[in-house]
A and B are shown apart, each in its own frame.
Chain A
Amino acid sequence: MARLSKKTPSVCTDNPLSKSEVNRKITLMREILDSSFGPNGRLKQIHNNVGGHVLTTSTSSSLLQAFYSSEPLLKLINASILNHVSRFSDCGLYVGILCLSLIKHVQESDLRPSVAISMNKHLLELCTSYLKHEDCNCKVTIDLGSCRSLVTLARSVISSKPGSMLTEKEKQHIGTLTVHAFLLTVPDGETSDTVRLGRTVMVAMEGQSVLDSAVFHGLLVDVPDVLLHSIHAERITLRPGPFRLALFSVSLSGDLSALGKGSLEVPSGAPDPEDVVLEQLLGLGEQVVNNQVDVFMCQRVIHPVLQQYLRKHGVLVIERLGIALIDPIVQMTGAQAVASYQTPISPEAYGQVKGICVRTVGPRILLHLLPPEEPASTICTMVVCHRNETMLNELKSAIQKAEHVLRLTLRDPVALLGGGCTETLLAAYCRNKGTSEAMDASSSMGVSRSEYLLGLHAFCLSLESVALALDHDGGTSLIDLTHAHCWYIPSGQAPQSGTLPLVETSQWGNEAPPTCGCGIVERRTRPEQGMGLEWTLLNCRYPPFTPTPLVGDATSAPQPRVLDSFTAKFNALQVAVETANLILGIRFIIQDVN
């Protein structure tokens, strides 16, 4: 009997951002996200209070999926970060930090929400048009002909996930492998307008050193040990390829599940249905043998009698492949997955592999299917090793993200400077541009000039606070007053910052690190520029100035050390500001508590 319960009226909250409880939760979330950001981010352990699985992570996707809040505003922020991550894989924490600090700074500036919203929108447009512009100083064009910047990009993504606990050498190794795997999935030679990228199949292996990770062209298939021992004896290892391959997606176990539910009545005298099916299977085997198939694969179970028959005729039989491998095999070998055993196999359903060999990776022995020469295959396998499961999972997700970022680069071959430099540059640009056109812009938007300047300051502070969030060790973040890049002094080396006047430019010269956050500006005085650099603290007001681009020839100029995906960060910036605007515009909350 259906239970009918009375609906209770909803709970309403008026003007939620003015409630201290809501603000406390928002601050907490900001602190959580802030402290997880960047390569030095602090890891978070998540477990529920009755025990069970413990998750150690600092990546936004795992963190926020596990993070449950009953506060509707936080739910909304959470959802928009996760939606962004699901599309672009990268910059999830960036969205969260920028959005929450915008909310914080707007609240501190005491602007009316509607004014703050239109200001944020205006400044966002300023930023996006600057980023799209050719002369943008934050952009670096990626030369797809050389691996250098691709590796830098992949490395930056991987090192921004400290949960995978990699050393510098390991980061370099994994970064290189990721780019290698990525390049294998890009088809070459085709000039048609649509390009179909291949795929990287990941095989995870626990307990091995990270440096044992490797990339193989083709596919690695897990098979039982018994089979591997017999492979050496079979003819497949004796003669050179290519080999013909048949692939089945239907179960060849001989049961009658395909007929659906219901009872089957067999009149006496009629043949046993199972015998009929087995007969058909053997007929299939005969056809396969006659067509000189060397490898016989099935997604599901193969009847032992059929297996025995095929082995006897020297065919390599692999069963229980699982659905995940079917698509890569189809792509690599050109075979078609056959879904019925009642009809004879059409000749074009067969695929090809160039060869088969046995690979030993750590403790596991895997069967390696080599891709055929023609057409060039775009399938590769990456064996990812790490010492324990938690770190391995983090590493896997980091690699997947890096791969996605690389793919995004293919469409739009530009990257943004990392290490906080893009944010400081954008902030300096907005501050300069905004201040110079404050008069016109404020009147066209219908806000007063002081409101305009307050909104501008809040926006720039929020951008800078993303750069500030990269530091977790109590160091000092600086901005230089020429190129507007971000510099970072580790704690203990900087003088007491509390006693400084607001703008003190000269005295940082000795303590500043040799290069800026992204690595393209160097501290040494450049003779061609005729002047040294001046610095100021990042989180204080400084006079607006035009960031000058770096000059100098391309060969001698230092290469950026840290790069971020342009596409992901561009979207992240928009998502962050729009989410902040959404939150600021909310006047009332109605919670259905049924």
Chain B
Amino acid sequence: MQMQPECLRLDSVLQTVSVLEAVVQRSFGPDGGQVLFTRDTGQTLLTRHGTRILTALRLDHPLVRMVVECVRKHSDVTGDGSKTFILLLASLLREIRKHNGKAPKNVAGAKWLGEALLAFGLDELSNVISVGVASHATYLSDTCNPTHTDTRTVVKTDTGTLRRLLGSFLHTRISPTHVEVISQLTCELLCRWSFQGSFVNEHFPSLHTAVSGFPTGCSRLLEGQVIHADFSTPLPVHNRGQIKALTVTEHLEPSGTSGGMESVCARSGQRLDSVCAVLHQLGVSLLLSSVTQSEATLAAARRNGVGVLECVPEDDLSLFCLLSGSQPITDWATIRFVHLGFPKAEGKVQPHSLVVCGLTEGQTEQSVDAIRDALLMLHTAWQPTHRPTATDETPHTDRQTDASTDTCTGQVGPGCVISIGGTFEFLLHHALQLFPHANKHTRSHSDTPDVSRMLAEALLSVPRRIYSHSSRQYLAAHSHALSKVLDGCSSGCSLGVESVSCKYQLILAVLQCLRNILEHTVSFITSFLSCITEEVMPNPNVYLVSHSLTSY
């Protein structure tokens, strides 16, 4: 049977991606619902995280696995946009199919379009955004910048925009009733840590504690560090105030035996005594141990009034050492000790930990996940847009250097944010449509208008999805966004905001993924064309009825 393998494959690709889209759009946008999933272990978890949902499906299809992998890579880096990723990918594929429908003779058309889109994204998109979008955006106040070095001068920080950014991000990830509490806490946590976002990010596992059985409203910040271990021997009540702590990573009592019986008995006793004497001499009253200690050691510690924490998690211990400037003891010859009360003299950083409450383990995990990704997202938001994405192994390295030298004038500064509700998509759509007129020196790609129009059309699918319950609101939002362009002013955004840089990275990642899919599709077809028989081919007449793109 003779057929156009290309066209068919493209349809089946589109069909597959549309299935993913159908799942993801359940929890997309501010009105999206939660997805409950049960693990193979029987655990129930709640999520609105696109990557989580997609991986939980455990789909077998090789193409799906590739797409899911791309989404995962993207959200691992930026923490944001996994659901929009799928929506954009699906609508780009639809655009390509529409385009291909006009010229079916072009065998490698889809692949070529994918290449062209990616090239356009890498070369021109940053420019277009900086011209068409960034001029209507606002910036996060500079004090929130993690790269800002002089933290001492920061007295009172305006966190309004930051809070709105966090709020609108969390709106897409957790139950809307908890957004306020969690975003407030995340914001405060960052404030306390003087906006050292990357530090908080790195040590987040030991900076948060999940507690189930309480309503989410009970979540709060605690000053100091929470060590996730219980006292094996209690800390004596009488000495409050500053206490000295010692961290150890080895057994205080030797377990092995050598020599005669008597010597063993005598020696272990002596060893313990000498250890206790040292502890006493140093005035240590808290022992943090990463391993379990023997009962004899615990009894000796109890006798000497030393509180012992056994099996302290490795992360907690390393953070503790970092904060207090101590070193764990592995060799008794060199002993250093610390004050637990974290002296406040050095700098403005006040260590605080976050306690996240929730009804069940599934819910706390969701909140913790969302906060972690919010921090990642903030990190991305501070990157200027001219940087290439780190998500993929890019074969376009030479072009990137080109692009960065080309576009260094038109980059979007770090911390650029824009109102939510599809404003970014509307503005970019508008800017892309004007693109060929604005840009005089299109040199390499003679067909850029074509590609840019496709991208512009595809972008509109995102706000369409947001306002899917009422087309009137969609039109209202569209005209509102365009009125900004005509007025030429960046109106203050009273609602939530989202990061332009995240959006830019997202589009690039989608374009990369698209190109990968299309390339693989073609090579797959060309290498297996010989063994295709009628029964393994899906019926070419069955096309997925996609959402009509011209319904508005």
- Chain A interface residues toward B at CB < 8 A: 7-10, 12, 14, 16, 72-73, 75-76, 79-80, 83-84, 86-88, 113-114, 117-118, 121, 192, 194, 196, 249-250, 259-260, 262, 264, 266, 270-271, 273, 276, 280, 336-340, 342-343, 346, 348-349, 571, 574-575, 578-579, 581-582, 585-594
Contacts and interface: CB of A to CB of B under 8 A. Distances in A.
Nearest to B270: A343
20 contacts: A12-B23, A79-B44, A79-B359, A86-B213, A194-B237, A249-B299, A259-B257, A280-B265, A339-B298, A343-B273, A575-B215, A578-B359, A581-B177, A587-B33, A587-B34, A587-B35, A588-B23, A588-B26, A589-B35, A593-B40
B73 interface: no
B38 A75 contact: yes
A348 B303 contact: yes
B46 interface: yes
Contacts of A194: 237
Contact of A80 (B38, B175, B360): B360
Contact of B266 (A118, A260, A342, A571): A342
A12 B57 contact: yes
Contacts of A593: 40
Interface string B1-40: 0000000000000000000000100110001111111111
A114 B36 contact: no
B341 interface: no
Given A79-B361, A336-B303, A588 B36 contact: yes
B363 interface: yes
B49 to A, nearest CB: 12
Nearest to A591: B38
B18 to A, nearest CB: 15
B325 interface: no
A343 B265 CA distance: 9
A75 B43 CA distance: 9
Contacts of A117: 175-177
A523 to B, nearest CB: 38
B56 interface: yes
Contacts of B374: none
B213 A340 contact: no
Given A80-B359, A113-B33, A336-B299, A9 B57 contact: yes
A79 B362 contact: yes
B543 interface: no
Given A87-B214, A582-B175, A8 B58 contact: yes
Given A342-B268, A592-B40, 4 more contacts: A79-B360, A250-B295, A585-B175, A592-B38
Interface string B163-206: 00000000000011100000000000000000000000000000
B296 interface: yes
Contacts of A9: 57-60
Contacts of A12: 23, 57
Contacts of A574: 215, 217
A340 B299 contact: yes
A592 B269 contact: no
Interface string B283-317: 00000000000111011101100000000000000
Interface string B395-407: 0000000000000
B264 interface: yes
B38 A588 contact: no
B493 to A, nearest CB: 18
The 10 closest A-B pairs by CB, nearest first: A587-B33, A339-B299, A83-B213, A574-B215, A80-B359, A590-B37, A87-B213, A343-B269, A594-B40, A339-B295
Contact of A75 (B44, B57, B273, B294): B44
B261 interface: yes
A73 B303 contact: no
Contact of A10 (B57, B213, B299): B57
Contact of B36 (A73, A113, A339, A348): A73
B212 interface: yes
B279 interface: no
Contacts of B534: none
B44 A592 contact: no
Interface string B457-480: 000000000000000000000000
B359 A587 contact: no
Contacts of B260: 270
B89 interface: no
A579 B359 contact: yes
B216 A578 contact: yes
Interface string B333-364: 00000000000000000000000000111110
B303 A349 contact: yes
B53 interface: yes
Nearest to B56: A590
B38 A582 contact: no
B533 interface: no
Which interface class (under 10, 10 to 19, 20 to 34, 35 or more) fits B?
35 or more
Most buried by B among A121, A194, A280, A588: A588
A266 B257 CA distance: 13
A451 to B, nearest CB: 15
Nearest to A83: B213
B177 A121 contact: yes
B302 A72 contact: no
Nearest to A249: B295
B362 A587 contact: no
B255 interface: yes
| Interface-central residue, A114, A336, A578, A590, by most chain B CB under 10 Å | A590
A586 B33 contact: yes
Nearest to B360: A79
Nearest to A128: B217
Contacts of B176: 114, 117-118
B487 interface: no
A280 B266 CA distance: 11
B262 interface: yes
A75 B42 CA distance: 9
B35 A586 contact: yes
A592 B40 CA distance: 5
Contacts of A337: 299, 302
Given A113-B33, A249-B295, A276 B261 contact: yes
Contacts of B217: 574
B359 A585 contact: no
A247 to B, nearest CB: 11
A266 B264 CA distance: 13
B421 to A, nearest CB: 14
Contacts of B37: 10, 72, 589-592
A386 to B, nearest CB: 30
A175 B265 CA distance: 53
Nearest to B238: A192
A276 B262 contact: yes
A249 B298 CA distance: 11
Contacts of B31: 114
Nearest to A192: B237
A75 B35 CA distance: 14
A267 to B, nearest CB: 9
A8 B31 CA distance: 31
A582 B255 CA distance: 52
Nearest to A80: B359
Contacts of A192: 237
B35 A84 contact: no
B36 A589 contact: yes
A259 B264 CA distance: 9
A575 B359 contact: yes
A86 B361 CA distance: 13
Contact of A342 (B215, B265, B361): B265
A12 B273 CA distance: 63
A83 B212 CA distance: 6
A592 B53 CA distance: 11
B36 A590 contact: yes
A587 B32 CA distance: 8
A592 B212 contact: no
Contacts of A579: 359
B114 to A, nearest CB: 28
A118 B177 contact: yes
